[in-house]
Amino acid sequence: MALILYIPSGAVQLSGNPIWIVVTGAEIPVGATNYQLLLQITDNDAVLPTPQPDAITPDSVGTALFDISGLVNVPVVQEFEWPAVGCIVPHPPSILNINVQCGQTYIDANGDRVTAIDGVDSDLRILKGGLSDFEIGEMNDAMTDFYSSWIEAGKFLTNQPNNTKVSPTQIVKLWYLGQWTANHECTLYMDITTPDKVGHIPYTQNFTIYPNTGLLEININPAFVGREYYQIESFEVWIEDSVGEVSERRTFYVDNEYKENNNYLFVANGKSGVDVLWLSGAVENSIETNGTEGFKPMSSAQSSRVGTLLATSRTARKKWKINTGWKSSEEMVALVDVYLAYNLWLLIGGKLRPVMLTNGEKLLSDSMEDLHSTELELLEAHNTRYA
């Protein structure tokens, strides 16, 4: 009986969760001992070191269950455009493309080691990120998975809610991964609503998704793509192919009221995308310093200008306390992505700086309020010795 390789959760998976590979059909040859099933991983992009085949003894019905997440959960350089230049930007390095093959190994009746990779294989795409334990449990209850619920369903890769509020000049980022293994023609649509409710021809841009396109970064704002209006109330974004819609629709409401502060936090979210959050509240700038001192005994001819305590090291980190500005309950709950993010960047004063969020209890929402805000305490991701 030939070995069968099966990937239960689909062709796209997240590196931070278990990635199960099932191999079945094992039959122990007559006289063989130490029989095990093998799984060989090949990195199509030559990013991973070539690992030795993973070996597991099959169960009584000839099946072995492999979890390869530990082999593919590697650091990824988060790519995104800033300043934004293109409306649709492919990022091939954002995805790890691997091939998995199964085989078997055993000691034959003559005492010789036999190892064979049998050529039964499957391709798999890995995104950097993960689902919460609760979300995995919900999907298990619904008998679905990330690939079906997100990729095949055409969701943009973000945990931010629909109908979020943005600034008039904010370039929104959306992230999309095509489900197709061959070239696929698509069209990006943006429908714009102005306060006068006059109908406008939707903005469209044709593009092709190739097998090696990787994640698509969509940078969108009416003015950014040449649609200038005196004032915009909202805009809606989606993707279609020749058959119909292949993505969800996302609506963004523009807050045209004057804001003294307009800062933006770029957040590497748990679905492999980068969200841009508008922070319109008050800002406090400070600096956090650290240092050590050493004692030097006073010499016989020491000047009054020379101390006996000397600085042996001094470092500093910039620090910002920024209020988010008013957000809906749904937007506040989505801040969990900010609190869990490994990579954050703050756009302030025209400069994009890597930052880290301080630890502690964070307010998400209050049922007594319709609108909410909270203060984010951010530290520059550098300890610097110089100003």
Residue 36 in tokens = 């095990």
Q: Do 192 and 244 reside in the same domain of the chain?
A: yes
Number of alpha carbons in the 13 Å side-chain half-sphere of residue 263: 24
pLDDT digits (tens, 9 = 90+) for 59-96: 999 999 999 998 888 777 788 999 999 999 999 888 88
**pLDDT-based confidence at 356, cuts 50/70/90?**
very high
Are 332 and 372 contacting, i.e. CB atoms less than 8 angstroms apart? yes
- For the chain, give the percent of residues with pLDDT over 90: 73
**pLDDT-based confidence at 366, cuts 50/70/90?**
confident
357 is a domain residue: yes
- For the chain, give the percent of residues with pLDDT over 70: 97
Q: Say what the pLDDT of residue 70 is.
A: 87
CA distance 148 to 13: 10
What is the CATH classification number for the domain harbouring 182? 2.60.40.10
Q: Do 135 and 227 reside in the same domain of the chain?
A: no
Instruction: Dump the DSSP string for 233-277.
Output: -EEEEEEE-SSSB-S--EEEEE--S--S--EEEEEE-TTS-EEEE
| Mean pLDDT for the stretch of residues 44-69 | 82
89 is a domain residue: no
55 is a domain residue: yes
Q: Say what the pLDDT of residue 169 is.
A: 94
| Mean pLDDT for the stretch of residues 163-180 | 96
87 is a domain residue: no
Q: Do 273 and 363 reside in the same domain of the chain?
A: yes
Q: Do 270 and 336 reside in the same domain of the chain?
A: yes
Nearest to 190 by CA among 148, 231, 157, 234: 234
299 vs 364 pLDDT, higher one: 299
For the ranges 52-56, 79-83, 180-184, 215-219, the lowest mean pLDDT is seen at 52-56
Q: Do 103 and 196 reside in the same domain of the chain?
A: no
The pTM for the full model equals 0.91
Q: Do 102 and 231 reside in the same domain of the chain?
A: no
Q: Do 119 and 75 reside in the same domain of the chain?
A: yes
Phi and psi of 86, rounded to 5°? -105, 155
**What is the span of the domain harbouring residue 282?**
259-387
- Residue type at 2 in one-letter notation: A
pLDDT digits (tens, 9 = 90+) for 212-268: 888 999 999 999 999 988 899 999 999 999 999 999 999 999 999 999 999 999 999
| Mean pLDDT for the stretch of residues 259-278 | 95
Q: Say what the pLDDT of residue 267 is.
A: 97
Q: Say what the pLDDT of residue 112 is.
A: 94
| Mean pLDDT for the stretch of residues 269-283 | 95
Total number of domains constituting the chain: 3
Q: Say what the pLDDT of residue 51 is.
A: 63
Of the residues 257, 289, 311, which one is the last residue of a structural domain?
257
Instruction: Dump the DSSP string for 185-246.
Output: EEEEEEEEE-TT----PPEEEEEEE-TT-BEEEEEE-TGGGT---S---EEEEEEE-SSSB-
Q: Say what the pLDDT of residue 52 is.
A: 65
Q: Do 265 and 250 reside in the same domain of the chain?
A: no
pLDDT digits (tens, 9 = 90+) for 279-331: 999 999 999 899 899 999 999 899 989 999 988 898 999 999 999 999 998 99
Q: Do 137 and 169 reside in the same domain of the chain?
A: no
173 is a domain residue: yes
pLDDT at 45 over 80: no
Of the residues 229, 257, 285, which one is the last residue of a structural domain?
257
For the ranges 114-128, 161-175, 243-257, the lowest mean pLDDT is seen at 114-128
Q: Do 159 and 277 reside in the same domain of the chain?
A: no
Of the residues 208, 239, 257, which one is the last residue of a structural domain?
257
Name 58's Cβ contacts closer than 8 Å, sequence gap at least 6: 23, 26, 35, 36, 37, 64
pLDDT at 1 over 70: no
CA distance 325 to 233: 19
- Residue type at 289 in one-letter notation: T
88 is a domain residue: no
What is the CATH classification number for the domain harbouring 51? 2.20.130.20
pLDDT at 46 over 70: no
Q: Do 250 and 286 reside in the same domain of the chain?
A: no
What is the CATH classification number for the domain harbouring 264? 2.40.30
CA distance 182 to 48: 24
Q: Say what the pLDDT of residue 387 is.
A: 77
Q: Say what the pLDDT of residue 236 is.
A: 97
**Type and span of the H or E element at 377:** strand 375-380
CA distance 336 to 374: 12
Alpha-carbon torsion (100, 101, 102, 104), positive or negative: negative
124 is a domain residue: yes
Q: Do 279 and 198 reside in the same domain of the chain?
A: no
149 is a domain residue: no
Q: What share of the chain is helix, strand, coil (3-state, %, to 5)?
A: 10, 45, 50
